[in-house]
Chains A and B, each alone.
Chain A
Amino acid sequence: MTQLLLKDYTATSCVGHGRLATLDALRAKRGGLAPCAFERAQIDTWTGEVSDVDDERLTQTLGRFDCRNNRLAQLALRQDGFTDSVAQSVGRWGRRRIGVFLGTSTSGILQTELAYRRRDPATDALPADFDYGGTQNSFSVADFVRQALGLDGPAVVICSACSSSAKVFGSARRMMDADLIDAAVVGGVDSLCLTTLYGFHALQLTSNGPCKPFDSGRDGISISEAAAFALLERVPNSLDSDAVMLLGVGESSDAYHMSSPHPEGLGARAAMLAALDFAGLEPGDIDYINLHGTGTLSNDSSESRAVASVFGSSVGGSSTKGATGHALGAAGALEAVICSLALQHEFAPAGINTRSLDPALGIQYLVENRPGRISRVLSNSFGFGGTNCSLLLGRAG
């Protein structure tokens, strides 16, 4: 495939707003999870809430998009001069030649949950100020972002649960290869809501404390929220050596179960092999794996088998969800940003909260940051419905 340049990128999660805060948290092995205090949720679990989302105000012309998910999107777009980078691309390529490909799992469903509590007692009608298309509909976040950035190219939301914002890189790559666009804003935005908190709780998949990926005592996920974006362009003739590039995308389906991964990790294995194949690389070329590593018994067990079957125990990996929680539809883009920071700042980030590594999971799991240049990294994202995506990112030099 054509390699693509991550010309700019940014992330906002419970560990901080923007790249620098994210990098500081990773280096300090500092997490952002706290006991759940979201909305009216009465669940004994920890969540990763992003600070200051409630204070974010959308510009008046985009007022119909006002909901937690789009406020979080705007908060993230304001970091790191990302909006300026997009404006430069608009100046160069034109607004019609820049696509928007975003992932989310629940979009602005919180707005609907709140609206259901404000139904008219007599007629059962939802309140007049509830705007379905601007908030609940899955496309809302892409529509908001394209209008906020003044873009008029192809736009779509990929809504495949926890693989959503990894798979957007694949769609953007194809449209770039088809010459429909010259640049793409890709990313993911997912925000806390009662549907996911109570839904994962019903499945008995929420941890009682901060999640502990790959720990022998792991007991589930910590649900979080995040927004992460990257600006993709074709690779120019000359590049800084620390430029980050998308080298491969691998996608597969489990064909197994709606809410459990294949126990042998066959789908995960197929996605990783496809990403390697795409990039023309061998397992030995990979220096670090950002694992999906949700902290559930089944995911970490299944993913370990898949990773061990491709890489043995020779490649160090970690799940950064101990720090960031599981941002669901935003996880793929958030972890692509974490991988980009690791490539540019020359370290492999540790997984935190993991005290007693599960000996049954035969992979090389990093519990300490490992300094040193890494050139190529793989990032895994898997979701409900057995949807799998692996991204392969690398440094230019």
Chain B
Amino acid sequence: MVKLAAHIEGIGLLGPGLDGWTGSVALLECRSPYIRQPTVVPIPDGLPPAERRRIGLVVKLALGVGLQAISKAGVEPDALPAVFASSGGDGENCHEICQALSHDERMISPTRFHNSVHNAAAGYWSIATRSKAASNALCAFDWSFAAGLLEAVTQVAVDQTRVLLVAYDSPYPQPLYAKRPIPGPFGVAFVLAPVSAAPPAQAGAGGSVGSHDGASPAPHAGVGSIARLTVQLGDSPADRMSNTDLESLRASIPAARSLPLLHLLAVRKNGVVNIEYLDGRSLAVEVETCA
């Protein structure tokens, strides 16, 4: 049996009142108070001007956390396989299309249409970072974070490659909001590396040639491991956040189901967190902090 383990080398985080991993550690530790503020999403680097004009908030969010994570890890993105997990993709764009199609003219713009694909963020990521490595775009409704983490760690462990995981969600406007109330944009990203990785080399030397070759040597480690994760399927109830505001985020945004894991990483303690996965199942994530 393959042990589903991976090193976390970099973390990206953007959400309501959460601006980057480093800037969020104190409040995730509950050392400083959580103050709910609108998510601040930066304009991503790397996209040609034409593409930059076409992207909506959700793509900026996904690229934003992904770029934070690779920067923190000190790895180059150009050959880094990526897993993008989202429950709903671009809610604003989806609303505009359904609205247009409900009218008699039924005109939708080419840009709206190509932005409607669930893998839009993966496509723009590949263009922005010039990454030709494989990417996956997943959905598992409320369990999309756990499904993305399981897929990413499986890739890391089975294919012995470094993988970027990006989980993100953003709100639908009304009237869809009433049916799917996601209160704000939230994105989280991890650079995950094989546990058998070679000793640390210079930053940026990493990156495997792709996920296709299970026999390829493990990539060099990046600037260092934040923690080691081991995941397995379980049946335990999902862990919650003790802070009620953060718990409200966790329960209402699929990507924010990651918060109990981020809390454990912030307090730098070893332990196990249970993340909601499918109906009544869970993903048990064991965390061993490094250095």
Pick from A113, A202, A253, A270: contact of B109, CB below 8 A.
Answer: A202
**Stretch of A27-35, A174-182, A344-352, A371-379 on the interface side:** A174-182
B52 near A: Cβ within 8 Å? no
Pick from A143, A175, A256: contact of B141, CB below 8 A.
Answer: A143
A sample of 28 inter-chain contacts (CB < 8 A) reads A113-B98, A116-B98, A126-B176, A132-B179, A133-B141, A137-B88, A152-B281, A155-B147, A156-B139, A158-B136, A159-B119, A159-B137, A161-B119, A195-B98, A198-B113, A199-B108, A199-B114, A202-B107, A202-B108, A251-B211, A252-B133, A253-B123, A258-B51, A258-B54, A258-B115, A385-B114, A387-B123, A387-B135
- Residues of B close to A259: CB separation below 8 A: 110, 114
CB distance from B144 to the nearest CB of A (A): 8
Q: Which has the most chain B C-beta neighbours within 10 Å: A154, A158, A200?
A: A154
- Residues of B close to A274: CB separation below 8 A: 210, 212-213
A38 near B: Cβ within 8 Å? no
* In the bound complex, CA of A203 to CA of B108 (Å): 10
Pick from B51, B113, B213: contact of A278, CB below 8 A.
Answer: B213
Pick from B94, B118, B179, B278: contact of A159, CB below 8 A.
Answer: B118
CB pair B126 A142 closer than 8 Å: no
Q: Which has the most chain A C-beta neighbours within 10 Å: B107, B116, B129?
A: B116
- Residues of B close to A112: CB separation below 8 A: 94, 98, 176
CB pair A195 B116 closer than 8 Å: yes
CB distance from A299 to the nearest CB of B (A): 14
B127 near A: Cβ within 8 Å? yes
CB pair A195 B151 closer than 8 Å: no
Within 8 A of B (CB), among A61-105: 105
Smallest CB gap from B123: residue in A: A385
Number of interface residues of B (CB under 8 A): 70
Within 8 A of A (CB), among B82-137: 87-89, 94, 97-99, 101-102, 106-110, 112-120, 122-124, 126-127, 129-137
- Residues of A close to B89: CB separation below 8 A: 138, 159
Q: Which has the most chain B C-beta neighbours within 10 Å: A40, A143, A195?
A: A195
B198 near A: Cβ within 8 Å? no
Contact flag A177-B158 (CB < 8 Å), given A138-B118, A199-B116, A386-B123: yes
Within 8 A of B (CB), among A130-151: 130, 132-133, 137-140, 142-143
CB distance from B123 to the nearest CB of A (A): 2
Contact flag A137-B139 (CB < 8 Å), given A117-B102, A179-B2: yes
B37 near A: Cβ within 8 Å? no
* In the bound complex, CA of A105 to CA of B117 (Å): 7
- Residues of B close to A251: CB separation below 8 A: 134, 210-212
- Residues of B close to A126: CB separation below 8 A: 175-176, 178-179
Q: Please classify the interface of chain A as helix (H, G, I), strand (E, B), loop, or mixed, using the class held by over half of its residues.
A: mixed
* In the bound complex, CA of A139 to CA of B118 (Å): 11
- Residues of A close to B265: CB separation below 8 A: none
Q: Hey, which bits of chain B sit against chain A, CB under 8 A?
A: 1-2, 4, 51, 54, 87-89, 94, 97-99, 101-102, 106-110, 112-120, 122-124, 126-127, 129-141, 143-144, 147, 150-151, 154-155, 157-159, 174-176, 178-180, 210-214, 233, 278, 281
- Residues of A close to B120: CB separation below 8 A: 258, 385
- Residues of B close to A161: CB separation below 8 A: 117-119
Pick from A1, A139, A152, A202: contact of B110, CB below 8 A.
Answer: A202
Known: A154-B278, A156-B147, A258-B114. 16 other contacts (CB 8 A): A105-B118, A126-B176, A126-B179, A138-B118, A154-B147, A161-B117, A174-B154, A177-B158, A178-B1, A198-B108, A203-B110, A252-B210, A255-B127, A277-B213, A384-B123, A385-B137
* In the bound complex, CA of A160 to CA of B89 (Å): 11
CB distance from B217 to the nearest CB of A (A): 15
A52 near B: Cβ within 8 Å? no
Pick from B126, B176, B179: contact of A385, CB below 8 A.
Answer: B126
Q: Which has the most chain A C-beta neighbours within 10 Å: B129, B130, B212?
A: B212
- Interface bits A156-186 vs B (CB < 8 Å: 1, else 0): 1111110000010011001101111000000
Pick from A117, A132, A154, A155: contact of B176, CB below 8 A.
Answer: A132
CB pair B132 A258 closer than 8 Å: no
Contact flag A386-B113 (CB < 8 Å), given A132-B179, A157-B140, A174-B159: no
Smallest CB gap from B280: residue in A: A152
- Residues of A close to B137: CB separation below 8 A: 158-160, 385, 387
- Residues of B close to A142: CB separation below 8 A: 140
* In the bound complex, CA of A152 to CA of B281 (Å): 9
Contact flag A178-B141 (CB < 8 Å), given A156-B147, A387-B123: no
